[in-house]
Amino acid sequence: MPAVDGADELLRWFEREGPDLPWRRTRDRYAVLVSEVMLQATQVARVVPFYERWMARWPTAGLLARAPLGDVLAAWHGLGYPRRARNLHLAARAIATTGWPDRLQELPGVGPYTAAAIRAFADGEPVVPVDVNVARVTARRWPDGLPDVGAPCAWAFGQGLMDLGRTVCTARAPRCASGCPVRPGCPAADAGAVAEATPPGRRQSRYEGSMRQRRGRLLGAIAASGRVEIAVDPTAAESLIADGLARRARAYLLPVR
C-alpha cells in the first residue's frame, strides 16, 4: 500500500474495519448502479435489505427493464424519493435496449457522482466519487486535494473515505481523538478548526406533514391493496399522477403499468 499523506493509514483501517456490504462483493455495473441510487439520501443500514431483495428479484438490467413500473415502485416503497425508482427503471430499459452508453450521464437519473461511482466501484478506474461524506473528509483532512493512490487501491480508498465520513469524521460529532486513522497530520484538527473546515450542509426539509410523506402514504396504500381513493388526498394524488408514479381510474389511484 502506498505511503502517501495518510492514504496508507486509511487503507489499512478500511481493511480492518470496512463492513461487508452486499454491493461490495461485486463489480457488476448494474449492481453498483442499483446500490448507488438506493444510497442517495438513505442510510446504509436501511438500504441493505432493500438491495438484497431487489437483486434477488431483478439481478440484471434486462429483468428490471421487463418489470412493470408499478411492481418496481411497490418494491421500492419504504426507501423514499420514488422518482429514483422510476429513473432506475428507465435506465435499465435504456441499457437493455442499447447497452451502456460511453457517457454514463446519458442514463436517466445518473449524475456526475453516480457516473463516477460506477467508474470507480465497477470499472476499477482511479477516480473518487465525491458524496457529502467524502467532501467533508477532504475539506478537513486533505484541503489541497486527495492523494493519488493509483488504480490498484482506488476502490478501497474510495470506499474507505465514505466509511470514514459516515462513522468517524461525521458532520456534528467527529471522533478526531478516538478512532480516526488519519488524525496525524490533519490540518483542521491540528488547528482546532474542524467545524470551520466543514462544508455547510444542506438543511433537510421537515418530513412530518410534508408532501413527501403524503405521497408516500398513497404509494404505500397502492402497494398494499392495489388502489387507493383519490379523495384521500387529492393534491398528493394529482402530484403522483403528474410524475407518472400512479395512474387514475375514475375515483382511484392505481399502479402504473
Residue 126's φ and ψ, nearest 5 degrees, are -80, 65
Active site residues: 36
The one-letter code for the residue type at 236 is A
How many residues belong to the chain?
A: 257
CA 207 to chain centre: 19
Q: Could you give the CA distance from residue 219 to residue 216 in angstroms, rounded to a whole number?
A: 5
Q: What is the CB neighbour count within 10 angstroms for residue 241? A: 15
Show the beta-strand stretches assigned E in 98-147: none
Please answer whether residues 29 and 118 qualify as being in contact, where contact means their C-beta atoms are separated by less than 8 angstroms: yes
Q: Could you give the CA distance from residue 89 to residue 69 in angstroms, rounded to a whole number?
A: 7
Q: What is the CB neighbour count within 10 angstroms for residue 18? A: 16
Gap between the terminal Cα atoms of the chain: 51
Closest C-alpha among 154, 179, 155, 156 to residue 169: 179
Q: Could you give the CA distance from residue 124 to residue 155 in angstroms, rounded to a whole number?
A: 6
Instruction: Name the packing angle between helices 69-76 and 83-98 (round to 10°).
Output: 130
No. of H helices and E strands in the chain? 13, 3
